[in-house]
Chain A
Amino acid sequence: MIAYQLSIFAENKPGRLAKVTRILKKGKINIRAMTISTSDAFGVINALVENPESARALLEKEGLTVSLKEVIAVVIEDKPGGLDGLIQLLFEQGINIENAYGFVLESRKKAVFVVDVDQLDQTQKILKNAGFETLDTKALSAIEPFHYMNY
Chain B
Amino acid sequence: MYWEEAIETMPREKLEALQLERLKKSVEKASGSIFYGDLFKKIGLDPKGITSLEDIRKIPFTTKDDLREHWPYGFLAVPKDDLVRMHSSSGTTGRATVIFHTQSDIDEWTNIVARSMYMTGMRRSDVFQNMMTYGLFTGGLGFHYGAEKVGALIIPAGSGNSKRQIQLMQDFGTTTIHIIPSYALHLTSVFEEVGVDPRRDTQLTRAFLGAEPHSEKTRKKIEEFYGVKAYNSYGLSEMDGPGVAFECPHQNGMHLWEDNFILEIINPDTMEPVAEGEEGEMVLTTLLREGMPILRYRTKDLTRVIPGPCECGRVHRRIERIKGRTDDMLILKGVNIFPIQIEKKLMDIPGVGTNFLIILEREGFNDLMIVRVEVGREFFSGDLKQLEALRRRIVEELKSDILITPKVELVEPGALPKSEGKAVRVVDNRED
Contact = CB atoms under 8 A, between A and B. Distances in A.
Contact of B411 (A11, A64, A69): A11
Contacts of B413: 63, 65
B409 to A, nearest CB: 4
Contacts of A46: 382
Contact of B384 (A41, A44, A68): A44
B125 interface: no
Contact of A9 (B380, B385, B409): B380
Given A5-B382, A46-B382, A65 B377 contact: yes
Contacts of B388: 39
A69 B387 contact: no
A132 interface: no
B375 A9 contact: yes
Contacts of B197: none
Contact of A65 (B375, B383, B384, B391): B375
A53 to B, nearest CB: 15
Contact of A69 (B381, B410, B412): B381
Given A42-B411, A64-B412, A65-B413, A37 B384 contact: yes
A9 B386 CA distance: 12
B415 interface: yes
A98 B385 contact: yes
B387 A39 contact: yes
B382 A11 contact: no
A6 B381 CA distance: 10
A5 B415 CA distance: 24
Nearest to B409: A41
Interface in B134-161: none
A69 B382 CA distance: 7
Interface residues of A, number: 25
Interface string A135-148: 00000000000000
Nearest to A64: B412
Interface string A54-88: 00000000011111110000000000000000000
Contacts of B415: 11
A11 B383 contact: no
A96 B391 CA distance: 23
B414 interface: yes
Contacts of A134: none
Contacts of A9: 375, 380, 382, 387, 412
B412 A44 contact: no
Interface string A1-43: 0000111111100000000000000000000000001111111
Given A39-B387, A65-B375, A7 B381 contact: yes
Contacts of A64: 412
B365 to A, nearest CB: 23
A37 B388 CA distance: 12
A141 B378 CA distance: 27
Nearest to B410: A42
Contacts of A67: 380-382
B21 to A, nearest CB: 60
Interface in B200-249: none
Nearest to A99: B384
Nearest to A5: B382
Nearest to A68: B382
Given A9-B375, A65-B375, A65-B377, A43 B384 contact: yes
B380 A65 contact: yes
A66 to B, nearest CB: 8
Contacts of B391: 39, 42
Contacts of A65: 375, 377, 380, 412-413
B242 to A, nearest CB: 38
Contact of A7 (B375, B382, B409): B382
A8 B383 CA distance: 9
Contacts of B412: 9-11, 63-65
Nearest to A42: B410
Interface in B240-290: none
A27 B225 CA distance: 62
Contacts of B411: 11, 41-42
Nearest to A38: B384
B375 A44 contact: no
Contacts of A44: 382-384, 387
A120 B377 CA distance: 24
Interface of B: 375, 377, 380-385, 387-388, 391, 409-415
23 contacts: A5-B382, A7-B380, A7-B381, A7-B382, A7-B383, A8-B382, A9-B375, A11-B409, A37-B384, A38-B384, A39-B391, A40-B409, A41-B410, A42-B387, A42-B409, A42-B410, A44-B383, A46-B382, A63-B412, A65-B375, A65-B377, A65-B380, A99-B384
Interface pairs A-B: 9 shortest CB-CB: A7-B382, A67-B382, A41-B409, A69-B382, A44-B384, A42-B410, A37-B384, A65-B380, A9-B380
Given A37-B384, A40-B409, 14 more contacts: A7-B380, A7-B381, A8-B382, A9-B375, A11-B415, A42-B409, A44-B383, A44-B384, A63-B412, A63-B413, A65-B375, A65-B380, A65-B413, A98-B385
Interface of A: 5-11, 37-44, 46, 63-69, 98-99
